Chains A and B, each alone.
Chain A
Amino acid sequence: MSQRKPKTPVVEKELWVENRFGLHARPAAQVAQMAQKFDVEIILEKDGSWANARDLLSLLALDCPQGTRLVLRATGPQAHEAAAALFSLFASKFGEK
């Protein structure tokens, strides 16, 4: 839901929203904070719509309840590190149930 088109992807990964309440404010905040740590452009894509992983509000607006499948596309020098970090964040269910 960003205005810019994503650049050619360097890393592509599949992510699943597994925690019970979905990607609500706190998990989304964790994703945004994590994405901001790396020198990278990360797009999360869901059924054709997408959000910049750094933007808390657009992550929320992507509407990802439990069970949502997302595709992560990371572009930039730290694409691999960022993708791995986000992958384990999703896998940890953001410390929730």
Chain B
Amino acid sequence: MTPNNRPLQGIPASPGIVLGRAKVLSEHVETQPCNCLLYSPEEIEEQLGRFLKAVEQAETDLIALKDSLSPEYQEHGHLLDVQILMLKERMIFQETQRLIREKRYNAEWALFQAWQKVRELFQGIGDPYIKGRIQDAEEVYRRLQSNLAGKEVWNLSADEPVIIVARDLSPAEATQMTSSQVLGFITERGGRTSHTAIIAQSLEIPAVVGVDFATREIATGDPLIMDGLTGQIILDPDEALSRSYQARKKDFEAFKGEVAQASNLPAITTDEYPTQILANIELPEEVDLGLKYGADGVGLLRTEFIYLRQRHLPTEEELFLDYRRVVEAMAPRMVTIRTLDIGGDKFLSHLEYAPEMNPALGLRAIRFCLKEQKIFRTQLKAILRSSVYGRVRVMFPLISSVRELQEARRLLEEVKQELQREGTPFDARMPAGAMIEVPAAVTLAHLLSRQADFFSIGTNDLIQYALAIDRGNKQVADMYQPLHPAVMRMIREVVNAARVARIPVAMCGEMAGDPLYIPVLLGLGVAELSMNAMAIPMAKHIIRLITIEEARKIARNALRLVTVEEVNDYVAQEMNRRFPEIFRFVHALAANLEP
């Protein structure tokens, strides 16, 4: 086959560039094994022997796997323990043997039949978390079938390092990659903040997720290039392209080393203007990642996850323990907790809250919390209680009027009094801020600043509302422009209002973590930027190379331009000129891929 440089696109989940051959992990769940009846007692004995050998092999492999895990993945070690136990489970182990003996099935077919019964049993389970445990049983089943077929299950200690391609990887599977010859991985499912992506980042294995049909497009043995910086995959690359990626890989690794070295240093410009580079956190695991990448604190702790993952509303205690874990790990750094930012239809009964036609403009975030005060108070109480374990501030999302902020603060005061009466300790001076993400809040920034201890600009929503663009709509997605003159002017207005009131302004949202925008934002006066943990080293790197005067000049010039195209061109040009070594990685190879 002639190389054809065929590109596939996914979501970059863990940075790095790798070249190698693919190993596709296909799922054999649907394929039925062959079914043949046994006639002689010898045949039955032989099949029993094969099955027992497959179990024994699986046990040896799982134990070896468990021993090879590094101590920080204890949690996943427990998952392997469960699998080891399942090997000898009655419904699989004894039932398969019974079927071989009594029904005279061959080992594969007997195992398949036993497995079908387990699947049926799990179908009736209501609790989604417990139901999800069928994954563990399924891994065991697949392992046994592969052993029977004499296939290598996961020959991860293969001589040649490989790029793993799979529909999805469980955290346990992703963890196995530590001890093995895995260059990187590609999955069809998952997003940037899936557990698997986070594990890949902490293991520093490049990964691209969300690649549609990856397991069908790619075959085991295919030569690949995978770029975890851009999410691009190139199938069957020709020699010229491989060479240029080799060079890019080398450059990137040298660069990464340089950037990583400085990631624990403070983010100060060369003329000593101090900034704070913070982490956005959604899953508890990300705290460690944030610390590893040198976060100065947490600029956005999303709190929705716990409300969505279980059937009942979380109790104050559960919330408290969750927050405390993050606050303690980060102490003495600041943790900014955002109160609940979803609508009731996401987690309450559909009778009370029917799904809305237009949820972005509906009853959600602070609006929902002010309506469902009991839920809100429980969360505020948990946040306050966590505040004594480090430094905490709270922020209210989707504020669109002074009244809403007043109401939220009033409830916060009431909850404080309640805690005081109970004698429960909390930080009485915990700052409470407003998120600025609705154009109305920008217009009212001067008024809001008198009621807020800080502002945090949520750019994802602000851009969407200001430009009336739904990013999910492919027809208009390219009109979603962070450097739109309207957006830049809004940011300037918020900063001015905050300056008058002498309160800090932070920014969370994707814009804050994009290297391209960092000097502009700094120049506009936003000195606290919160982003995905993996973006932190790069952000710090840029800040440590620039002066605040330079940043202000870039912002001033950008503000003078009248169309977004002009602004984009100007900023890209300026950044390419100023930081050629960074932007080479983002743009350099794009030209090679044009047909």
Contact = CB atoms under 8 A, between A and B. Distances in A.
A57 B125 contact: no
A60 B127 CA distance: 10
Given A56-B85, A65-B130, A20 B310 contact: yes
Nearest to A55: B90
B82 A26 contact: yes
B124 A63 contact: yes
Given A57-B92, A57-B118, A97-B318, A63 B126 contact: yes
Interface in A52-97: 52, 54-58, 60-61, 63-67, 97
B133 interface: yes
Contacts of A52: 90
Nearest to B311: A65
Contact of B130 (A33, A56, A64): A64
Contacts of B92: 57
Contacts of A22: 127, 129-130
Contacts of A66: 310, 312
Given A29-B82, A32-B85, A67-B312, A60 B122 contact: yes
A25 interface: yes
Given A29-B82, A65-B130, A56 B89 contact: yes
A29 B81 contact: yes
B136 interface: yes
B91 A29 contact: no
Contacts, number: 75
A33 B88 CA distance: 11
B285 to A, nearest CB: 16
A13 B523 CA distance: 68
A16 interface: no
A21 interface: yes
Interface residues of A, number: 26
Given A29-B85, A65-B311, A67-B312, A60 B91 contact: no
B262 interface: no
B126 to A, nearest CB: 6
Contacts of B89: 32, 55-57
Nearest to A68: B127
A63 B79 CA distance: 19
Given A26-B78, A66-B312, A97-B321, A60 B130 contact: yes
9 contacts: A21-B310, A22-B127, A24-B130, A25-B79, A25-B82, A55-B89, A56-B85, A61-B125, A65-B310
Interface of A: 1, 20-26, 28-29, 32-33, 52, 54-58, 60-61, 63-67, 97
Given A32-B85, A61-B125, A66-B310, 17 more contacts: A1-B121, A21-B129, A22-B129, A24-B130, A25-B82, A25-B133, A26-B79, A26-B82, A29-B81, A33-B85, A56-B85, A57-B92, A57-B137, A60-B137, A61-B121, A64-B130, A97-B321
Nearest 3 CB-CB pairings of A with B = A61-B121, A65-B127, A63-B125
